[in-house]
């Protein structure tokens, strides 16, 4: 039976959707254990246990104050303690760096941006800025995989069970600088961009006005994203950037508004299940990959769409 270890960087009182997806995927592969970086409430631990997790590895000390170095060292030791064959992480920039650092220590192969995985651990992912969809497989004894949110179904949890806790010693001299300050990110009330089932993204065509996009996103219960041109212009924070040099998203619905659809931007969203493009230029490359396209003024189209969605209670 394959031994699977999931790294969870706890941030809430209950399991996030992406965490439930990882737990569901792991359960389909073999025996599951969890490496949990931070403190967690009992309800969170019960949630982990409800997915059949028997062991939860915790660090003896704080691994969150040294950027990713402490977390990578902790993951490495947890993999060895669990005898894991497969390591699963999320797909954030931080998770990818942790995966790379841990893989070097473990002499393991790494596959990032996984959107599909079969029983033989053959992964499907986009590559070369999204120009190709490739299948690949790790050939080392341990496989380290980062998984895109919304790529796997989160199955229903079972009865709450508290997994057995195993403490892992932490290196007292991590090779990284200490964090000297933090700034809290403003809370919008919208889902996190990489986990959202609906993303409404704007580009140069919004001309600095993201108001209509925010209203549509709120009507759909989605998140707001942007192209690099929009973030570089200062119209929206850089954490909202979708693309090759931004976040990679794979929602059920992606609404592209005023974005031309250059290859760098497409690399971050073309695995979306349904793509709707709104652009006044009928020759925009985004229409080549869109499932539905609207040629028109976004400032006329979006308010009508938002009003109709609210009328229908969608």
Annotated binding site for FAD: 204, 227-228, 241-245, 279
How far lies 204's CA from each of 4, 227, 300, in Å? Answer: 43, 8, 16
Cα angle at 159 between 60 and 19, to 5 degrees? 55
To which residue do tokens 């030791």 refer? 77
**Sheet with 223-226: strands ordered across:** 223-226, 198-202, 253-257, 274-279, 292-295
Alpha carbon distance 253, 314 (integer Å): 13
Pairs from 107-111 (Cβ < 8 Å, separation ≥ 24): 107/140, 107/142, 108/138, 108/140, 108/141, 108/142, 108/143, 108/144, 109/138, 109/139, 109/140, 109/142, 109/143, 109/144, 110/138, 110/144, 110/145, 110/146, 111/136, 111/138, 111/143, 111/144, 111/145, 111/146
Tokens representing 228 are 């690099």
Closest by Cα among 74, 35, 40, 79 to 53: 35
Cα angle at 174 between 173 and 175, to 5 degrees? 115
To which residue do tokens 């969203």 refer? 269
Tokens representing 244 are 């090759």
Binding site members: 204, 227-228, 241-245, 279
Going by DSSP bridges, is the β-strand pair 143-147/109-114 parallel, antiparallel, or unpaired? parallel
81 touches 166 (CB < 8 A): yes
Q: What is the DSSP letter of 175?
A: S
């Amino acid at each position: 039976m394959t031994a699977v270890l999931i790294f969870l960087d706890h941030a809430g009182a209950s399991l996030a959707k992406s965490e439930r997806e990882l737990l569901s995927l792991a359960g389909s592969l073999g025996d599951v254990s969890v490496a949990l970086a931070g403190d967690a409430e009992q309800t969170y631990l019960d949630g982990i246990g409800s997915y059949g997790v028997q062991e939860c590895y915790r660090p003896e000390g704080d691994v969150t104050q040294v950027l990713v170095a402490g977390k990578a060292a902790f993951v490495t030791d947890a993999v060895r303690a669990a005898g894991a064959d497969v390591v699963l992480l999320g797909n954030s920039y931080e998770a990818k760096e942790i995966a790379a650092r841990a893989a070097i220590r473990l002499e393991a192969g790494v596959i990032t941006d996984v959107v599909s995985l079969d029983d033989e651990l053959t992964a499907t992912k986009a590559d070369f800025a999204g120009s190709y969809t490739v299948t690949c497989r790790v050939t080392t004894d341990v496989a380290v995989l980062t998984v895109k949110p919304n790529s796997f179904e989160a199955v229903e949890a079972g009865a709450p069970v508290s997994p057995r806790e195993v403490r892992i010693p932490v290196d007292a001299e991590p090779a990284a600088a200490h964090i000297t300050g933090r700034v809290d990110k403003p809370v919008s009330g919208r889902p996190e961009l990489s986990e959202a089932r609906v993303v409404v993204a704007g580009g140069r065509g919004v001309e600095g006005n993201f108001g209509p996009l925010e209203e549509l996103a709120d009507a759909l219960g989605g998140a707001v994203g942007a192209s690099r041109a929009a973030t570089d212009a200062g119209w929206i924070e850089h954490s909202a950037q979708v693309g090759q040099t931004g976040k990679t998203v794979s929602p059920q619905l992606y609404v592209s508004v005023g974005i031309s659809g250059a290859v760098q931007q497409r690399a971050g969203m073309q695995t979306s299940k349904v793509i709707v493009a709104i652009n006044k230029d009928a020759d925009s490359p985004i229409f080549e990959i869109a499932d539905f396209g609207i040629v028109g003024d976004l400032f006329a189209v979006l308010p009508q769409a938002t009003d109709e969605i609210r009328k229908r209670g969608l």
